């Protein structure tokens, strides 16, 4: 969890596109979150404020931290108060991803052109297609 906060601080300080105000806001929020790590119990109010500041600075920073399961577990009360969830909780809600399944198309028994041998791969004009991407 401390490594995730450290990686986020590196990202904040090394990204050239962030303004000085964005850096100041994000670093202040990350410092507050890091101070929470040494405590036995997380202060929900301070954590909520820090996560809101981080979201205000740049939302991708906060969502990057939410991908870390330890961070999401440690700051669960604050995230619950904000209505956010960590990646593990989101994955538990969806049993299988429909994005990982192939999309059936109207092939009517034809094989996909990437599955054909090079001698049978042609475009609409009859020109040979390049080899499909991948390792050879």
pLDDT mean by block of 10 residues, the chain; 136 residues: 90 91 95 90 92 92 87 89 75 59 64 74 81 62
Could you tell me if residue 44 is inside a domain? Answer: yes
Could you tell me if residue 47 is inside a domain? Answer: yes
Could you tell me if residue 123 is inside a domain? Answer: no
Structural domain count of the chain: 1
What integer pLDDT is reported at residue 127 of this predicted model? 85
What integer pLDDT is reported at residue 52 of this predicted model? 94
- Round to whole Å and give the CA distance between 71 and 62: 11
Which positions ≥6 away from 44 have C-beta within 8 Å? 77, 78, 81
What integer pLDDT is reported at residue 40 of this predicted model? 84
Grouping H, G, I as helix, E, B as strand and the rest as coil, residue 95 is: coil
- Which among 3, 21, 17 is positioned nearest to 64, based on CA atoms? 3
Question: Range of 65's domain?
Answer: 2-86
């Amino acid at each position: 969890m401390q490594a995730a906060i450290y990686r986020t601080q590196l990202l904040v300080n090394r990204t050239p596109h962030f303004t000085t105000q964005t850096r100041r806001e994000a670093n202040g929020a990350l410092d507050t979150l890091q101070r929470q790590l040494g405590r036995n119990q997380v202060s929900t109010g301070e954590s909520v404020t820090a996560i809101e500041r981080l979201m205000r600075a740049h939302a991708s920073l906060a969502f990057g931290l939410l991908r870390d399961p330890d961070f999401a577990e440690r700051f669960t009360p604050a995230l619950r108060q904000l209505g956010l969830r960590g990646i593990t909780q989101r994955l538990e809600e969806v049993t299988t991803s429909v994005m990982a399944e192939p999309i059936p198309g109207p092939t009517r028994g034809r094989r996909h052109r990437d599955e054909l041998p090079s001698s049978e791969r042609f475009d609409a004009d009859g020109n040979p297609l390049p080899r499909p991407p991948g390792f050879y």
